[in-house]
Each structure stands twice: as C-alpha cells, then as structure tokens.
Amino acid sequence: MGLFENLGRTVESFKQRAEDAAEETVSGESAGETATETDSDRECVDCGQPVGVDRSECPSCGGDVVATGSDDG
C-alpha cells in the first residue's frame, strides 16, 4: 500500500501546484500587464489586452492580435 499512498500524495501535490499556477496566471495578468506592454507593441483586437510578440492569438480571450504603436519598417 505504500506505493499507492506515495502515488496519491504525488498526484495531489501536482494537482495543487497546477491549481496554484492557474490561479497565479489569472491574478498575475494585471500585475504582468505593464511588463507585457513595454515588451510588445501588440494587443488583442477584441479585449485590448497587451499580447507578447511570440503569440498569434490573445491568451486571455483567443482573439486576433494587431500591432499598435510605432512601426520599425
């Protein structure tokens, strides 16, 4: 039974870390917004959230991304 108890603890620990990370991501959107805005000149067409240069769609709502601000070309 020790094997199953250890497995159960490991699964619960993983589950808790995943929930914490998801919660941190949701609550961290406001805090990370300023850093994202300075790193990127792109935002979501639908919700207006800043979007990183490595993304093709908004992580918040899945909307299309459009470049804003100055253009290098």
The whole-angstrom separation of Cα 13 and Cα 45 is: 38
Q: Which tens digit of pLDDT belongs to each residue from 9-66?
A: 999 999 999 988 888 777 665 444 444 444 568 888 888 888 888 888 888 888 888 8
Q: Where are the beta strands (DSSP E) in the chain?
A: 42-44, 65-67
Q: What is the pTM of this model?
A: 0.38
Predicted confidence at residue 38, as pLDDT, reads 45
* Residues 51 and 67 sit within 8 Å (Cβ to Cβ): no
